[in-house]
A and B are shown apart, each in its own frame.
Chain A
Amino acid sequence: SAVISQKPSRDICQRGTSLTIQCQVDSQVTMMFWYRQQPGQSLTLIATANQGSEATYESGFVIDKFPISRPNLTFSTLTVSNMSPEDSSIYLCSVPSGNGNTIYFGEGSWLTVV
């Protein structure tokens, strides 16, 4: 199984600021995915992070708000820009297993915007 590390695990941020979340995987993966889970809600896919190309965003999410980098096959970052209290959420990165039959999640980054 893949080991996924996220940083920071928790943070309290001032509104209007930006925060970058890092996701490190212990093996090379083609696709990495970023999800958001707002308080008491389900998980919502933000974007697919492709190595060597632009991220693919889901409806309702834009690059200006959630820029993503994917510099290599084991690492990705998600930035939450110009944060507002509505951005208070858990942000999770995930990767599929080698055969694609299992999706592993990182521990999540718990963000509170005040």
Chain B
Amino acid sequence: QQPVQSPQAVILREGEDAVINCSSSKALYSVHWYRQKHGEAPVFLMILLKGGEQKGHDKISASFNEKKQQSSLYLTASQLSYSGTYFCGRPEGGIYRGSTLGRLYFGRGTQLTVWP
């Protein structure tokens, strides 16, 4: 039930780009992305609701291929503040079943380290 993330870890220099992938063996109706900094709780980044949907937040964007049951998170021109562990989350059930939207199954996470 847990989505699979790759790579497990990424080390970047400031200004470089990175891609984090998330795939699911179960139907993927939507995808949540979170970032967790060391010693802190996870913070919501974005949700992708439709196949093919792309979203962006500052220089962090994501795509969602519902047919392939995959999502990718793109970090462009990385900043030091991007360091942390990124998790994708798969909600159980369809997006219209509101009672399941809080039940998320998370990938193992991708640890991103950005050096100056």
Contacts and interface: CB of A to CB of B under 8 A. Distances in A.
A45 B104 CA distance: 7
B47 to A, nearest CB: 5
B44 A43 contact: no
Interface residues on A, range: 20 to 34
B106 A94 contact: no
A30 B97 CA distance: 13
Contacts of B95: 100
Interface string B82-103: 0000010100000100110111
Interface string A78-114: 0000000000001010111000111111111000000
B44 A42 contact: no
A101 B49 contact: yes
B16 to A, nearest CB: 25
Contacts of A94: 102
B41 A107 contact: yes
Interface string A26-48: 00001111000000011111001
Contacts, number: 58
B51 interface: no
Contacts of B108: 41-42
Contacts of B32: 103
A103 B109 contact: no
B79 interface: no
Nearest to A105: B41
B2 interface: yes
Given A42-B2, A101-B49, A103-B32, A96 B42 contact: no
B14 to A, nearest CB: 25
Given A42-B2, A42-B87, A104 B106 contact: no
Interface of A: 30-33, 41-45, 48, 90, 92, 94-96, 100-108
30 contacts: A31-B99, A41-B108, A42-B2, A42-B87, A43-B42, A43-B87, A43-B89, A43-B106, A44-B106, A45-B104, A48-B102, A48-B103, A90-B41, A92-B41, A94-B102, A95-B102, A96-B98, A100-B98, A100-B101, A100-B102, A101-B101, A102-B47, A103-B32, A103-B44, A103-B102, A103-B104, A105-B43, A106-B41, A107-B40, A108-B40
